[in-house]
Structure 1
């Protein structure tokens, strides 16, 4: 069994999973273990964050931070088995570095990701404004919505998750929402402080967003996580970090779903810090199948 050992709190457990170990005798290769999860599959956000950490460890300069990644989820991962991460150094230029990371289990890839890193530079500086939203202190938490539900998935997202998630207009955990615009606002923050490491914070944002990226697809189609016969899985993930981010401070996810077709749905997200600064943009397409589609 190679799951992350139980820790006093979910944040410590997650940080342990992101602390990859260099593979003996293999340069730019690392091994990681998984968080325990209902159903035994590796959480996509976890392997994406680990792949980014692996890529970041091969940079010649520590001042280069990821500004974008593009990843494909190729196979479901087994949370009881280790994951090996092999990094290919594509380029180290004067300002940018590019890395290609493959995540393997049993000799076959489960994720392929390309990430680009940039040294800090001056340039154009503007951004969309944050939409109006109530303060996170005035919004109910997932913990409250799922409290008392005796189900492993409910327990995982409420008491075992490293992040506090608060849906401004109500969640779709227990049933569909009457608003089928596909738009939602979600406040997200880690439950505990995170070390002052910007690569780690950016990787943790990649981890956290995967929990809600396809929810706008379910909302717009009038479905929920409880839809009978629902089959859903992340296919690919694109992410751009515009500015420094701290996941241990409240972040507002402003989300929508521009399109769904052919058993696939697209989720789009802008991420704002509490003071209204746009820190990241994210897009994810997923397989979303319901019995009527």
Structure 2
């Protein structure tokens, strides 16, 4: 996986094969299948390659159909569904070996004024500099299982508490609740499309694991079979993915080997984006 912010930017710079058809490179990785956030982010950049510059993505809805092979490039086929006066719609199908592995519908919108309100930053969240790195926390809790998170060295991820065994967050209405601070390790170019894609990239790192917080399991371990199944995201305001974003995540339900989680991405004192995901969290012997 990208070890630096520069490598992450390169990963999101797709090759245009022809109109509406793009090729995404694969990074070196020890993962057995392509990281879902990478496919999500590359698909968004492919869709942006077919949309005029006055339109920004405001929502996307995606399904992970098959595990991607990390040693083969991914082809992104973008269908222009509609271009209206204020909105555009695109459908993206990601393929490997001629078979679809992922599809996404994304909508884009021109900049308009209007009503404006936002939930504020949650109270009582420790500052990023007062939080351990996610890798450090994983080492302390689970030892060798933390090697999974070293794949994301292009990101600075700080653990800001959960409602699990350490109970940094009181359970209250949410039995499964976790917060992390996250940003890229160095500055990004001033391209809001790229910042959105990086936000999509990082949105898949921890959101499924929140659904296991109340349970006596180790998320990344031989006793768990896990996979992202679908992912939705809404972009509310311009964001800087190279500055601290609080990822406030809750899992309202886990059942039938499926975990459902939602996340709020807050920066400053405003909500930048929201997301939701359902994934497989199968306990195996």
Q: TM-score, normalising length from structure 2? A: 0.90
Give the conservation status (yes or no) of the 8 Å contact 2:162–2:213.
no
Match in the other structure for 1:193: 187
| Corresponding position of 1:124 | 115
Cα displacement string for residues 25-69 of structure 1 (whole angstroms, at most 9, x for unaligned residues) = x3210001112222331100001100000001101x202110000
How big is the shift at 1:229? 1.5
The Cα shift of 1:150 comes to 9.0
Take 2:34 and 2:151, find their aligned partners in 1: how far apart are those partners? 18
Q: Which one of the candidate residues 278, 281, 285 is aligned to 1:288?
A: 281
Structure 2 residue matching 1:130: 3-state secondary structure: coil
Q: Which residues in structure 2 correspond to 1:107-256 (within 5 Å)?
A: 107-132=98-123, 133-145=125-137, 154-155=146-147, 157-158=149-150, 160-169=152-161, 177-179=165-167, 181-226=175-220, 228-256=222-250
2:48 pairs, out of 48, 56, 59, with 56
Deviations 1:247-292 (A, max 9, x none): 100000111001112111101001100x221101100000111148
Shift of 1:144: 3.1
Question: Aligned pair in 2 of structure 1 residues 135, 198: CA closer, same or farther (>3 Å)?
Answer: same
Secondary structure of 1:169's partner?
Answer: strand
CA-based RMSD of the aligned residues comes to 2.3
1: CA distance between counterparts of 2:220 and 2:53? 44
Out of 35, 40, 43, the residue aligned to residue 43 of structure 1 is 35
Q: Give, in angstroms, the shift of residue 146 of structure 1.
A: 5.5
Q: Which runs of 4+ in 1 moved over 6 A?
A: 147-150
SS in 1 for 2:6: helix
Cα separation, partners in 2 of 1:226 and 1:119, compared to 1, 3 Å: closer
User: Matched residues in 2 for 1:229 and 1:51: separation?
Assistant: 31
- SS of residue in 1 equivalent to 2:202: helix
Give the TM-score normalised by structure 1.
0.88
Is the contact made by 1:32 and 1:50 (CA closer than 8 Å) also made in structure 2? yes
CA spacing shift, 1:231–1:70, aligned 2, 3 Å: same
Aligned residues: 277
Taking the aligned partners of 1:276 and 1:287, their CA distance within structure 2 comes to: 33
Name 2:94's counterpart in structure 1: 103
Distance 2:32 2:6 in 1: 20
Alignment deviations for residues 154-180 of structure 1 (CA, whole Å, 9 cap, x no partner): 445237521111111269xxxx73547
Matched, 1:264 2:258: yes
Q: Could you tell me whether the CA contact under 8 Å between 1:258 and 1:267 is conserved in 2? A: yes
User: Quick check: which one's strand share is greater?
Assistant: 2
Classify the secondary structure of the residue corresponding to 1:121.
coil
